[in-house]
Amino acid sequence: MLQTEAFGNSSLIVVADSPEELLHTAQYLEGNLTGAVYSAADGSDDSLYAQLEDVLRPKVGRLLNDKMPTGVAVVPAMNHGGPFPATGHPGFTAVGIPASLKRFARLACYDGVRPHRLPASL
């Protein structure tokens, strides 16, 4: 069930008995458009969040905190991509610069991520 492709409205809710079980389960996820993490508002789970983000960030195009993913708007700021198999980026061309370079880049969106949890480069 963890890797079954679903079309339309679908959610996978994972309840783990321990932090270790949570991280172990997250390692088995394949590429997805989004990943939502619900966490403690007081920051008491920041250490676990950091470990989980390290596992999830390469697997999802859009990482959300404490909210459900919304619909996809057709605007430049909306990231509707992710690592394979979530998308293969079929819209990119192999001809010309900068278009050809985009084939080797991956957009990453942080949605609702608390400022202290964002990468230092942001």
Q: Give the model confidence (pLDDT) of 20-51 as tens digits.
A: 999 999 999 888 878 889 999 999 999 999 99
In a domain, 5, yes or no: no
In this predicted structure, the answer to whether residue 59 has a pLDDT above a threshold of 50 is: yes
In a domain, 1, yes or no: no
Question: What per-residue confidence (pLDDT) applies to 102?
Answer: 66
Give the end-to-end CA distance of the chain in Å, rounded to a whole number: 35
Question: What per-residue confidence (pLDDT) applies to 94?
Answer: 47
In a domain, 39, yes or no: yes
Distance in angstroms (rounded) separating the CA atoms of residues 23 and 51 = 8
- Domain count for the chain: 1
Q: Please give the residue range of the domain that contains residue 28.
A: 19-117
In a domain, 13, yes or no: no
The tens digit of pLDDT for each residue in 68-110 reads 877 666 555 555 555 555 555 555 444 455 655 666 677 778 8
In a domain, 8, yes or no: no
Q: Enter the pTM of the model.
A: 0.61
- The structure tokens 């990119």 sit at 92
Residue 53: exposure state from Cβ atoms within 10 A (0-12, 13-18, ≥19): buried
Question: What per-residue confidence (pLDDT) applies to 20?
Answer: 97
In a domain, 14, yes or no: no
Looking at per-residue pLDDT, the higher value among 75 and 54 belongs to 54
Least confident of 1-5, 16-20, 36-40, 55-59: 1-5
Looking at per-residue pLDDT, the higher value among 10 and 21 belongs to 21
In a domain, 11, yes or no: no
In a domain, 2, yes or no: no
